[in-house]
């Protein structure tokens, strides 16, 4: 078990720590994206028209608002997980922390803005 060997120096490192959890989260968010996107496409296709009033009323429906919010959160989470892996693999040094920070700011900002827009539509009155 000596720590002077190459094997001794690398013991305890590697994907066996948090990598498996990250991998499972990516798969779960991918499945969520698949199901929620399938719901979105099917429910948009059965709308009678794509007029502003019809789509506004569809978005403002409570079940659709909740499912759209789940889609926004899931897509942003999946996006962050995937790019985090790319950054960790290809960005080295002090810039890694900066790039990861920018990724988090971008993801939470984009998701927050999308949720705000969704909730503004859901909680406002009629379309016009």
The token pair that represents 91 in the structure block: 């960005």
Question: For all residues of the chain together, what is the average pLDDT?
Answer: 89
Residue linked to tokens 């120096």: 9
pLDDT in tens, 69-86: 999 999 999 999 999 999
For tokens 């948090």, the residue is 18
In a domain, 71, yes or no: yes
Q: Which tokens hold the place of 96?
A: 């890694």
5 in a structural domain: no
The CATH number given to whatever domain includes residue 40 is 1.20.1300.10
Let me know if residue 33 belongs to a domain.
yes
Confidence of residue 20 (pLDDT cuts 50, 70, 90): confident
Number of domains in the chain: 1
Residue 45: domain span: 15-123
Q: What is the pLDDT of residue 16?
A: 52
**Does 94 map to a domain?**
yes
In terms of pLDDT, which residue wins out, 2 or 126? 126
Q: What is d(CA 122, CA 117) in angstroms, rounded to the nearest whole number?
A: 9
| pLDDT at position 100 over 90 | yes
Q: Is residue 10 situated within a structural domain?
A: no
More confident residue, 128 or 23: 23
Taking the C-alpha atoms of 19, 24, 25 and 29 in order, what is their torsion angle to the nearest 10 degrees? 150
């Amino acid at each position: 078990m000596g720590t002077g060997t190459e094997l001794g120096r690398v013991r305890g490192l590697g994907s066996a720590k948090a990598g498996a959890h990250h991998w499972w989260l990516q798969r779960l968010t991918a499945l969520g994206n698949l199901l929620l996107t399938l719901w979105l496409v099917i429910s948009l296709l059965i709308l009678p028209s794509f007029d502003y009033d019809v789509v506004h009323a569809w978005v403002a429906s409570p079940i659709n608002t909740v499912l759209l919010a789940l889609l926004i959160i899931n897509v942003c989470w999946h996006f962050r997980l995937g790019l985090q892996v790319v950054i960790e693999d290809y960005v080295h040094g002090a810039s890694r922390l900066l790039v990861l920070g920018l990724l988090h700011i971008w993801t939470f900002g984009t998701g927050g803005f999308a949720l705000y827009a969704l909730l503004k539509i859901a909680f406002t009155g009629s379309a016009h």
